[in-house]
Amino acid sequence: MTDLAGFAAATWMRGVRVVQVPTSLLGMVDAAVGGKTGINTAAGKNLVGAFHPPTAVLADTDVLTRLPEAEFRSGLAEVVKCGFIADGAILELLDDDPTGRRDTAELIERAVQVKADAVGEDLYDLGRREFLNYGHTLAHAIERVEDFGWRHGEAVAVGLVFAAELAGQAGLLTRAEVDRHRSLVAAMDLPTRYAGDWDTIQSVMRVDKKARGATLRFVVLDGRGPGEAATPTILTDPDRAWLDAAWAAVSAEGTP
């Protein structure tokens, strides 16, 4: 709902101030923060939207005690994404408690800081902010193919595993690093597989706003630096064999 409220504020009288009051974990760490607003259409996820930063974001974590577990887990997918791309302490906290309930306030604070740092440097998604799309190229395609019947975080969870598998195929991540994505996401009780038609998924990914023309672009992690944590980078037009292998690793019959 914060996406919709932000989009309305961006377009009414060519822009009025908006204060976002998210009531879900997903809203607190992602949708309400950063100033990207948008609505879903038959053409795809958030293809109609605007950049319109909120005047303030008020997040009352007490409301999360009443949030259904499935919705809370969905928000955690965006939290763990921030851990993979920028803040290893998030991963350590979720290793210790995959439910995220014990350290909710710290997880929110750290995830928001990751996003704020990226947005502060790159409001219009031309550089560093793109890394926040880790896992989202496949995720948005899943959401579109499923007519937005999948929760965003569930789709992102599968997208994170896919992106890790793709990086592994490209020689950017070790098998252990790839497997850590799958094991942590699974421990958080989020899906790691998706049953769908690969040709359809690919065609939808090619019209995603992160693509350039019909060229696929994925945020992946590069762990080749000796003794350093993996860092995000853009993998452009990956080899078809890499894509097929990554898809085979996440493809399965069933629902999340």
Boundaries of every domain in the chain: 64-250
> In this predicted structure, what is the pLDDT of residue 52?
83
DSSP state of 131: G
Site of tokens 């995000």: 232
Could you tell me the pTM of the whole model?
A: 0.90
pLDDT per position as a tens digit, 207-249 = 876 666 678 999 999 998 665 678 999 999 999 999 999 999 9
Burial class (CB in 10 A: 0-12, 13-18, 19+), 117: middle
Provide the residue-wise pLDDT of the chain in tens; the chain has 256 residues: 777 787 888 888 888 998 999 999 999 999 888 878 887 777 766 778 888 888 899 999 999 999 999 999 999 999 999 999 999 999 999 999 999 999 999 999 999 999 999 998 888 888 889 999 999 999 999 999 999 999 999 999 999 999 999 999 999 999 999 999 999 999 999 999 999 999 999 999 998 766 666 789 999 999 986 656 789 999 999 999 999 999 999 997 544 4
> Torsion over CA of 38, 250, 219 and 71, rounded to 10 degrees?
40
Q: Are strands 19-20 and 56-57 parallel, antiparallel or unpaired?
A: parallel
CB 178 within 8 A of CB 164: yes
What separation in angstroms does the CA of 199 have from each of 18, 51, 131, 141? 40, 32, 25, 11
Q: Bridge partners of 111? A: none
For the domain spanning 64-250, the CATH number is 1.20.1090.10
